[in-house]
Structure 1
């Protein structure tokens, strides 16, 4: 391992405690309060100092391996770090020195599903139009753009566009409702106030010769949910009146 001599460390008692990980970006004790200077210069200086502190922290971890523990496994357990992070810092330090320990961008080098820059405005316009006119969700918008406009964009990309425009949530009257709350049973307060009637034809078993058709009437009370079934040889208004019980003495087929 290359000599780690970029910072001076006191190996006396209590040295390790001073280099335990702390929340990065925390103002130092006794320092002045941070604020936004003219043209943001003060914020930029604070960002650079925070980056230097994090790089020195990583360097202190590597020096702990060389001068104290002699083992990356022991050091990572002491600091509560992952094995991958320690070896990544060591590899970068051996290749680039202290510059290799500074923060790097975590953005991907290639995003094939990202919205194309040249047509970004057109894609966003289509997404917003589909959302506002048809209330489509991200998955359906993705399918629609691919099928009718030959535009490939992920559902998560559509959701981010809607999120940025504050359209990721539909109004309460247009949102999807669960099955148990979507439909409300049609009910009346008094028995006999309203009936639901259904009619279908039936053919009794065992008929010979010319078959005769009969009609089964099914009536359900909207209040009590009581169901009544009757079969009649005809299907007309008079039969429907008989079913309601206006003329209870009228004979039925069964």
Structure 2
């Protein structure tokens, strides 16, 4: 129950009490003005819906588009919208002596039902971009990155060597295996895969190889 409905039902209780005990007594007991109680009693028809607040929006406005201007907008819309859009519609209206602003034209077109909004479909919370993997080893992701120079320590830092880190992650269990080599070569990729097959406790079915250098390696050839 929203707050508007609650207020209407509260007014209904006040009106019922006023009909039994009197309007002045209802005003005193519920702490509302006597004029409000009288107005609600006059408005009440036996249902709480009759006590809902009425819209205070004016029915007309002195600056509203005239029937002639609305007819001009509709004709220009049929003539130009499909090819030129609303800019073309407004240009055509200006040539015919239309004096309103662009935003005023759009507001009038909305009221006339010419502007239609497309409803956007809400994405389901269960929607997944990639299917969830439930079997260990179904897909193992492999990546190779160069170790940053400022991360090197000791002898490697003094000799100015480069190190490359091979990383393998199982997309189901998130189990990870990491090893480093001094050179980034296909031979080292093959060595890494052989070590990986020994370290992982489950059978690997498929590799998802990110780097182009290791993309030619076949798991059957490694075995």
Q: Normalized against structure 2, the TM-score is what?
A: 0.38
Bigger relative contact order (CA 8 A; separation at least 6): 2
